[in-house]
Structure formats: structure tokens, C-alpha cells
Copies of this chain bind each other. A is one copy, B any other.
Amino acid sequence: MFAPLQNDTFLRACLRQATDHTPVWLMRQAGRYLPEYRATRAKAGSFMGLATNTDYATEVTLQPLDRYPLDAAILFSDILTVPDAMGLGLSFALGEGPKFATAVRDEAAVAKLEVPDMNKLRYVFDAVTSIRKALNGRVPLIGFSGSPWTLACYMVEGAGSDDYRLVKTMMYQRPDLMHRMLAVNADAVATYLNAQIDAGAQAVMIFDSWGGVMADAAFHTFSLTYTKRVLAQLKREHDGVKIPRLVFTKGGGQWLESMAPLDCEVLGLDWTVNLAQARARVGEDSPDGKPGKALQGNLDPNVLFAGPEQIEAEAVQLLESFGTPHTNKSRGGATHIFNLGHGISQFTPPESVETLVRAVHTHSRKMRAAAG
């Protein structure tokens, strides 16, 4: 059905296998910093108009790949499509974050929640298949969703928040309601990601964008537990090919040890994390043979506002901090997927991305050559 994959660098790095260079892609790589994206978005009229139209979603997903030799594509969509399918009414005012028409704030609203009919998300699966075809094997396609906790944040707050007061009030005051919401979210996200895999996604990523706003104990009880519940239900392969699973908790650097046992292949890191330390903490197999995680990240997106010399220097610094990947059979591999520590800014000069991608490819090849 789909053309054979020509560049499997990203998938190999996810699976902790040797690669010629460190693969690189950028969170939100299809986005407002690209003039061609803004043109398509203007045609579509709205963010959801863009995301729900198969042709437009395909077009914008491929735009950054036509400019830069990125090693992966990521589905153009939003982390909040699942609660939208639950009937909450997702929208994006121009220049603002997501908003729900209906917020979930009491027992009755929580009781009504259920795993949505996946037909309501058909537009996502259609986009996945269309993009996969359009990619024609150039690079693999990543599918994604928000984590159960991150969805709950938006479902209760109704929008972004700077203190998460409403969702945390429910969590501390009525943990029973929060657990019910998170269980529904987890089962919905798992069903949703499995359908993306069936439609052609070659890896899937769970964005726990708001995991890092929680207190230590609460993170473990209300976020990590439900990320595990998603992972336990995910397909591990499709048509005999492994489907790597990536988990990214923004602000989760302190909890890497808690995430190391997750049933996934890759952990995403934001820019606050020291890559060398992260590799030592969770990137290598443990002495008793438990496999480590591939690590993804973690350049501060604001580096892309500096000049080309500084961008190159910062990219080199991160690559050197991780060190040369290895795939020593006796200890297990340690691999790195280069990315930003969060989504690229809409104000980024497009030429900065060119500089970054070239620097990652060039320097990571040099490091491998130097290591023999």
C-alpha cells in the first residue's frame, strides 16, 4: 500500500540501532514560522479547517520536508482532537491557544465522558494515510496525541492556564472524578493512537505537555499512571514492522528515573535537562540488563533567534553533551534523536532551521567518524 522507506534513520535511532548520523526533526516543524504554511492556513480559514481537511493537512505536513532534510514527518494536527471528538468543541482564535466551548467541571460532566466514536476522528486517520502516501517513503510519519493528564487540563480549564487552578482543585478536592476522567482519556488516547497506526503512522508520540506543572506525588498518581495505561494498550508493531512509542513530559526532567520503566522506546526531554546526565540516568541499559531509552531533544527553541555561528555552536554542544551513540551489544545501545525542547516559535527565521539541520547532520557524522 505504501512505498518502501528510504530514510529509516529516525526509526533506527528510536529502536537504539546504529545510524550514520543523528536524526533530527522539530516539534511543530509544520507551522506559522513558514510563509507557505501561513498561505495554506489563510486558504483554510481556521486551524481546525486546516486540520480537518485531508489535502491541506497533507500539504502543510510536507512543507518543512521540502525545505529541509529532516529525518521525520509529524502529522499536522493538534494534541486536543480527542476531547473535541468527545463533544467539547475545540477552536482556535487567531493568535491564541486552544479553547473548548464546554468545560468539564463537575460530577455530572465527568460522568458523561466516554471514549468517543472513532468515526468522529476519521479526518485524522484519513490525513495520516494521505500524508503517508504523499511522503512516498522519504521519511517516516509520526502520529501523536496529548496525554490523558494534558487533555484533562484543557478539558477542566477550558483553555490554557497559568496556574491550573481549576484542574488542580478538582484533582485535590475530588480525586475520584479526576481518576474517572483520566481513565476515559487514557482508553480514548490508546484507541486513537492505534487507529493512527492502522492508518499508516510509523511511530506515535504522547505529549504530556502539562505533566511538569504538577507536584511530585501528583505527577506520579495522576499523569504517569495514565500514560502507562495508554502504553499498555498500544500496538507494538504493524504489518510486522515495529512502531516506536515516544513519551515527552515537558518539565519532567526530575522524573526520568520514574519514566525509565515505561513500556516505550523514546523519552523526550525539554531544554532544562542536561543530556549527558540524562544518558547516564536512563539512556544506557541497566547493569541487570533492563533496556535504556533512546533520548529525544532538547535545544531551546530560542537559540534559533541567534546568528548561524551560535546556532551551530549550540547544536554541537548538545551533540557533544550526549556523546557518540553506541550500539554495543553487551551493554545495549544509547541513541539520540535531535529535536527542540518544545515547539518551534512562530517568530523563527526559516533560515535558522536550515542552519540547525545541516549542523546536526554534519557534526554528528564527524563524531561517528572520529569515534571510528
Query: Chain A residues in contact with chain B, CB under 8 A?
Result: 163-165, 168-169, 172-173, 212, 214-219, 251, 253-254, 271-275, 298-303, 305-307, 310, 314, 317, 321, 341, 345, 347
Q: Give bound CA distance, A165 to B165, whole Å.
A: 26
Closest 5 A/B residue pairs (Cβ)? A168-B302, A172-B306, A215-B271, A169-B305, A215-B300
A212 neighbours in B (Cβ, 8 Å)? 272
- Most chain B beta-carbon neighbours within 10 Å: one of A253, A254, A273, A298: A254
A305 is contacted by which of B165, B251, B271, B299 (Cβ under 8 Å)?
A: B165
Known: A168-B302, A216-B272, A217-B321. 17 other contacts (CB 8 A): A163-B345, A164-B302, A165-B345, A169-B305, A169-B306, A172-B302, A172-B310, A214-B271, A214-B272, A214-B300, A215-B271, A215-B300, A216-B274, A251-B251, A253-B253, A253-B254, A254-B254
Residues in B whose Cβ lies below 8 Å from that of A303:
172, 215
Measured CA separation A227–B74 after assembly (Å) = 41
A302, B165: Cβ atoms closer than 8 Å: yes
B residues in contact with A274, CB < 8 Å? 216-217, 254
Task: Give bound CA distance, A303 to B172, whole Å.
Answer: 6
A271 touches B216 (CB 8 A): yes
